[in-house]
Structure 1
């Protein structure tokens, strides 16, 4: 087997005996290494302190130094290599002298007349250790450089929640002028404890300069030598929120500009359809009806965009008050009857007889916005049902609130699409081709509105993955905080 090429070591040769020092340097050169002679450990320490580097120290002494441990410590303290190997060479060391040398901080103790083969082998082991150490240092430096070039603040905390590591961005934003955050509780640095960081999608943090900003926190747990560690990455959302605000303001401006001419167009088309300008030819009537129908659809789209902009900017006022859900469910069904009839779909409403009897069990909701949510769920169910099928709307009560379900027996939602169901502009693949296309805003708006009213919205596939059931649930007014007290913050975090 071919022997690996040994790296060349730079040896710091220390000996008060000049002849011994020269002889040892000559041997090192003969073995393929470099040497730097020094007359004493103090001279060697000063040389290292000046920024010079060595891979190994060979101290050839006439007898063991009285303070060998101190000499080794001083040498290692003067260099970046905290593990600087020290080989002690004595005239004829016995076991007691070797033991004293090792206990004093030397890595090995050899005789002055040690053979070249043994000395070369010992230096070879040190050279391999230097290679491994250099590789480890290079990896550590690379990882540190990567960590420091991450724009997000990164903290690592121990099991007690105290900061043990932080990258450059974290120190720049949260480092105190009098010292870094190391050893401090994470809560003292960020204003929030580890338990609070993982509870919301969006957090309000304040840097060391006193300026606050929205951030997103993600944590990962790991272990180091059996000790628990958690690394937190804090992503500053300031720029993303600014872009979102600009986009929303643009959409709102465009929507407002579209609304005025659209209102005039719909008014004119409506007058034509009503015959105010005279009876239309038979061939023109379906064209006017199509123009009116699509104009109304465009109007609903504009309303959706405006509502979305206000909701995501927390500028949409809600007027929540305790009220029974049964009349609202009945009103939503009645409003959708004409649309369902055109599709040949039946609507069936089921409410428990005593659903509205106990006022103490009424949820606090905004009636108009709940009707908007139910209209969206019912129209979606009708749109995905075949002629002759029935969409079932059911009101149910449980111990803590009331629930409305809208079920159909259509094709259902593909399993791969379900995680995106309530996201903005989300549409299942094939919806447009099958005539089910829309803006992809309806369910997203429904989710935001339900959350703002303190409720929950969800989806469940029908039996055998045939059909769909959407539900909204609201707690009773006595079981939840007043509307707007915390729901808005949760909505902002999840939207």
Structure 2
């Protein structure tokens, strides 16, 4: 960007201040400046120039120094140039290198001996005009970058290797109450935020502290770069207070609506069930399939409502998990038994296999039995739904290293490789068209993942399976002694759980 700026710089018109007593030489200097297209202001004495510079601005100063003592005036001029480089060209009748050295030491950028060759002065002024144009371009770019940073709503801070703030934007000042970016520079990032630099740069959700030490939720991320051989880390910090408040309102709304839907749906399903069972009298043959369809779709709607309720509780961290050491084999058999009816309707064989090398009987895992059954029900029903008639679904339990693995395998079409990365995200479906043959909301696997993670485990899909799909639930194993200790702990009274730790 800087190279492009240098290539595109052309001499511009600037404001030149000429400090010289009335003389023919001073008149010629002003004529040369004006001939180059610059605007000039002319003052006869250095004292007047100093007073003018208190409020005025010049881009270049031409100063006529008639005695060695005048050279020191250059430093006074430079002190009033407001943090900008303003070239100072001294024109003096004094001859000798010692006078040139004194002028440069006094703060001048150039020292010419009068009478000055007009061509030489013109060439020098053109050179300085080009440098001034480059300076103006760089200042414009720097201001542009500053304006961009200050219009970013997230706090942006750059720190050095020691965690010292070297640059910040206005949003950072608002978050950490420091007035201006300069007020943040020089502060330790850990003192400002209450969190070490390593935690901030690694990213994720954190709880930070404002200047008044009040905590607030934030999302942080960091990127590392190098400036003049020194390591820099730029941190972007987003205040999540409003975001989480909106999410909480959304979750509460969804939970309320779901509950309100659940109440009348329960009554509808009960009434339809009574009709199907003949409690209100025998239905005509033509009405039976209609009543069965109403019952089936009502149950499907109920499952959708349950999924929405579970999702809002899990994402709002309001679902109670009753974790206890459990023998997983009975739960696997229970999940298979619960889905046998659905398997028969699908025309698919559902089998259970225990890879028992003698160690499963002595192994437990810390799980919520009801929620684990919910996870297995989702995986098994998905496998049955995607398997062809006459196919087989295998529900398997095994022990791998220090983890128990519950796997569900089918011989259906499998999962496209391009879709696997998003498989466990919300509303993920390989076929998103409105003509898909298999229904679903795309919430089941996402809820399963959240539930398994709440139990300290993980869920994945076997990557190398060529036909069908195999979903695996991994849970930490408790060997007999650890399980016995956990059982003993469960017998101790404990306060009622209201969420997940």
TM superposition score normalised by structure 2: 0.87
Separation in 1, partners of 2:178, 2:83: 30
- Measure, in 2, the Cα distance between the counterparts of 1:118 and 1:470: 83
Q: Write out aligned runs for 1:295-306 (5 A).
A: 295-306=298-309
Go from structure 1 to structure 2 and tell me whether the alpha carbon gap of 1:66 and 1:444 turns closer, same or farther (over 3 Å shift).
same
- Show CA shifts across 1:79-109 (max 9, x none): 2352111112222644443344334432222
Matched residue count: 478
Structure 2 CA distance, aligned partners of 1:467 and 1:224? 53
- Map of 1:334 onto structure 2: 337
> Are 1:349 and 2:352 counterparts?
yes
Structure-1 separation of matches of 2:11 and 2:46: 27
Structure 1 residues 306 and 6 mapped into 2: Cα distance closer, same or farther (>3 Å)?
closer
Gaps of 5+ in 2: 1-8, 491-495
Q: In the alignment, what sits opposite 2:493? A: none
Query: In the aligned structure 1, how far is the partner of 2:457 from the partner of 2:202?
Result: 18
Inter-partner Cα distance in structure 1 for 2:433 and 2:388:
14
Structure 2 distance, partners of 1:188, 1:12, is: 48
Report the 3-state secondary structure (helix = DSSP H, G, I; strand = E; otherwise coil) of the residue aligned with 2:245: helix
Distance in 1, matches of 2:173 and 2:320, equals: 40
- Specify whether residues 103 and 180 from structure 1 end up closer, same or farther in structure 2 by C-alpha distance, changes over 3 A only: same
Say which of 45, 56, 61 aligns to 2:60.
Answer: 56
Taking the aligned partners of 2:75 and 2:500, their CA distance within structure 1 comes to 61
Q: Structure 1 residue 182 and structure 2 residue 162: aligned?
A: no
Q: Which among 106, 109, 114 is matched to residue 107 of structure 1?
A: 109
**Does residue 480 of structure 2 align to residue 473 of structure 1?**
no
1:250-293 CA-partner distances (Å, limit 9, x unpaired): 21111111112111111111112212222222222222211111
1:281 alignment partner, SS class = coil
SS in 2 for 1:53: coil
User: Which residue of 2 is the match for residue 229 of structure 1?
Assistant: 232
CA positional deviation for 1:198: 4.7
Measure the CA separation in 2 of the matches of 1:264 and 1:32: 89
Partner residue of 1:165 out of 144, 147, 167: 167
Judged with a 3 Å threshold, the aligned counterparts in structure 2 of structure 1 residues 17 and 61 are, in CA distance, closer, same or farther, namely farther
CA contact (8 A) 1:162 1:185 kept: yes
Q: Matched residues in 1 for 2:38 and 2:308: separation?
A: 76
Which of 180, 205, 209 does residue 208 from structure 2 map onto?
205
- Contact 1:93/1:109 (8 A) holds in 2: no
Q: How far apart in 2 are the matches of 1:417 and 1:238?
A: 33
Using the TM superposition, give the Cα deviation of residue 393 of structure 1 relative to its aligned residue in structure 2, in angstroms.
Answer: 2.5
Deviation string, structure 1 residues 348-406 (Cα, Å, up to 9, x no partner): 322232343324xx221100001101111111122122122222332232333222222
What is the rounded CA distance, in whole Å, between the counterparts of 2:440 and 2:415 in structure 1? Answer: 15
1:290-338 per-position Cα deviation (integer Å, ceiling 9, x unaligned)? 1111111111111111111111221111100112222222221221222
Question: SS of the counterpart of 1:276?
Answer: coil
**Counterpart residue number, 1:492:** none
Q: Does the aligned pair in 1 maintain the 2:74–2:107 contact within 8 Å?
A: yes
- Asked if 1:413 corresponds to 2:418, the answer is no
Change (3 A) 1:385 1:5: closer
TM-score, structure 1 length as denominator? 0.88
Deviates more, 1:269-278 or 1:412-421: 412-421
Q: 1:92 to 1:77 in 2, by over 3 A?
A: closer
Partners of 2:42 and 2:389 lie apart in 1 by 99
Partner Cα distance (1:379, 1:334) in 2: 12
Change (3 A) 1:198 1:331: farther
For the 8 Å contact 1:458–1:472, the answer to whether it is kept is yes
Q: Would the aligned equivalents of 2:25 and 2:115 in 1 still touch at CA under 8 Å?
A: no
Once residues 77 and 398 of structure 2 are traced to their aligned partners in structure 1, the CA distance between those partners, rounded to angstroms, is 80
Q: What is the deviation of 1:423?
A: 1.8
Residue 213 of structure 1 contacts residue 238 of structure 1 at CA under 8 Å; is this kept in 2?
yes
- In 1, Cα distance between equivalents of 2:278 and 2:103: 113
Structure 1 stretch displaced more, 308-317 or 369-378: 308-317
Alpha-carbon shift at residue 128 of structure 1 (Å): 1.2
Which 10-residue stretch deviates more, 375-384 or 431-440? 431-440
| Contact 1:57–1:85 (8 Å) recurs in 2 | yes
Which residue number corresponds to residue 258 of structure 1? 261
Alignment of 1:354-393 (within 5 A): 354-359=358-363, 362-393=364-395
SS at match of 1:438: coil
Q: Describe the shift of the 1:43–1:473 C-alpha distance in structure 2 as closer, same or farther (beyond 3 A).
A: farther
Name the SS for the 1:202 alignment partner.
strand
**Structure-2 separation of matches of 1:488 and 1:44:** 74
Report the alpha carbon displacement of residue 186 of structure 1 after superposing the two structures with TM: 1.0
How big is the shift at 1:56? 0.8
Task: Identify if the C-alpha distance between structure 1 residues 349 and 64 changes in structure 2 by more than 3 Å, giving closer, same or farther.
Answer: farther
Shift of 1:42: 4.3
Q: Does 1:427 align with 2:432?
A: no
Measured in 1, the distance between the counterparts of 2:36 and 2:296 equals 95
Larger CA deviation: 237-246 vs 307-316: 237-246
1:10 partnered with 2:12: no
- The Cα of 1:190 is off from its aligned counterpart by 0.7
